[in-house]
């Protein structure tokens, strides 16, 4: 059966794409952010994942207000990167693992998660930028060393699924991966920001105390966050801070007992508190 080698949760911010294109990683503004990634790149060389289940939120690229699935799984052979208006350069298309994708669709529906299946999908900065941050040399060559299965959680149009439900989705993803007949090594990525609000009266809102407690809870008390409703989470973390649901689902896909391999937290990049957390099964 397939094996989950670990999880990486990371912020995704469109401006990262511009910084990579400009080779600005060592500029004082960007250095504390990019310095978080080399230890993870090193770990990936020994973890050697073949497939990445990447849990992300769309930003109005694939799904718009007229059709908004709560949970969606991509089953495409390939995903082109596209930009919903930030002006960031397109990156290499990501190959899909269709065998795992269809197995996950079967397993999740049997597990009572009535997901939307996407045989075609584009990927935005929430998928392409984590790949670029984790595999910069492959990005420079215009290829990726892994295949992906994208899992999308709606954070664009209310109502959003609760943190408890996203945690359960993660647990169902784990059951799906671990029942996939394959000797593949599977990495889980949760792609979403911590506290941030891009517009409105509280634009620029950041809650470092909450983010710090949330990151620690992901290691040793993963259901801590499920005490909060989504309205409370938006109050605590800003309107786009609700993207932390991606971290919650990624954590659900890991065994209960994990250990922290690496963490980084830096404020601000753009309007966002950036977080990075790497967990391995204990």
Q: Catalytic site residues?
A: 125, 196
Of 140, 206, 141, 171, nearest in space to 55 by CA = 171
Nearer to ligand DHB, 86 or 141 (CB): 86
> Could you say which DSSP state residue 163 is in?
H
Contact 256, 236 (CB under 8 A): no
- Closest approach of ligand DHB to the CB of residue 152, in Å: 13
Which residues, 6 or more positions from 23, have their beta carbon under 8 angstroms from its beta carbon? none
| Structure tokens belonging to residue 228 | 């909060």
Nearer to ligand DHB, 12 or 174 (CB): 12
DSSP character for 29?
A: T
Cβ proximity to ligand DHB, 13 vs 73, nearer residue: 13
Nearest-approach distance from CB 28 to ligand DHB, in angstroms = 18
User: Distance between CA 48 and CA 44 in Å, rounded?
Assistant: 6
Partners of 10 in the beta sheet?
191, 276
Please, what is the minimum distance in Å from the beta carbon of residue 150 to ligand DHB?
Answer: 15
Of residues 147 and 191, the one with the C-beta less far from ligand DHB: 191
From CA 81, how far away is CA 124, in angstroms rounded?
A: 6
Which residues are within 8 A (CB) of 80 and not within 5 positions of it... i.e. 6 or more apart? 90, 93, 122, 123
Hey, how many other C-beta atoms are within 10 angstroms of the C-beta on 178?
15
Residue (184 or 242) nearer to ligand DHB, CB: 242
The nearer residue to ligand DHB, 104 or 194, going by C-beta atoms, is 194
- Half-sphere exposure (CA, 13 Å, Cβ side) for 259? 2
Q: Look at residues 185, 201, 192 and name the one whose alpha carbon lies nearest to residue 249.
A: 192
Cβ 50 to ligand DHB, closest distance in Å? 28
The nearest distance, CB 11 to ligand DHB, in angstroms, is 7
Residue number of the CB closest to ligand DHB reads 270
Q: How many CB atoms lie within 10 A of CB 208?
A: 12
Name the nearest CA neighbour of 254 among 181, 180, 175, 149.
Answer: 175
The contact set with ligand DHB (CB under 6 A) reads: 12-15, 59, 193, 196, 198, 240, 243, 270-272
> What token pair was written down for 235?
């109050």
User: Are β-strands 78-81 and 272-281 bridged in parallel, bridged antiparallel, or unpaired?
Assistant: unpaired
């Amino acid at each position: 059966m397939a094996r989950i080698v670990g999880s990486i949760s990371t912020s995704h911010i469109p401006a990262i794409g511009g910084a990579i294109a400009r080779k600005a990683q060592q500029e004082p503004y960007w250095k504390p952010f990019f310095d978080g990634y080399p230890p993870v790149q090193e770990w990936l060389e020994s973890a050697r994942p073949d497939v990445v289940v990447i849990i992300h939120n769309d930003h109005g690229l694939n799904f718009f207000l007229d059709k908004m699935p709560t949970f969606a799984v991509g089953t495409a052979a390939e995903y082109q990167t596209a930009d919903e208006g930030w002006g960031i350069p397109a990156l290499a298309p990501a190959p899909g693992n269709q065998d795992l994708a269809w197995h996950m669709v079967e397993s999740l529906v049997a597990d009572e998660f009535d997901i939307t299946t996407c045989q075609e999908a584009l990927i935005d900065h929430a998928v392409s930028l984590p790949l670029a941050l984790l595999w910069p040399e492959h990005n420079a060559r215009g290829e990726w060393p892994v295949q992906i299965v994208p899992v999308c959680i709606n954070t664009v149009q209310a109502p959003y699924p609760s943190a408890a439900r996203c945690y359960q989705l993660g647990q169902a993803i784990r059951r799906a991966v671990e029942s996939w007949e394959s000797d593949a090594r599977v990495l889980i990525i949760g792609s979403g920001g911590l506290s941030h609000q891009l517009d409105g009266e509280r634009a620029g809102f950041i809650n470092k105390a909450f983010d710090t407690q949330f990151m620690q809870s992901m290691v040793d008390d993963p259901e801590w966050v499920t005490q909060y409703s989504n309205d409370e989470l938006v109050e605590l973390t800003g309107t786009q801070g609700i993207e932390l649901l991606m971290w919650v689902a990624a954590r659900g896909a890991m065994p209960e007992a994990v250990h922290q391999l690496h963490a980084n937290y830096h404020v601000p990049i753009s309007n966002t508190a950036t977080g990075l957390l790497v967990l391995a099964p204990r």
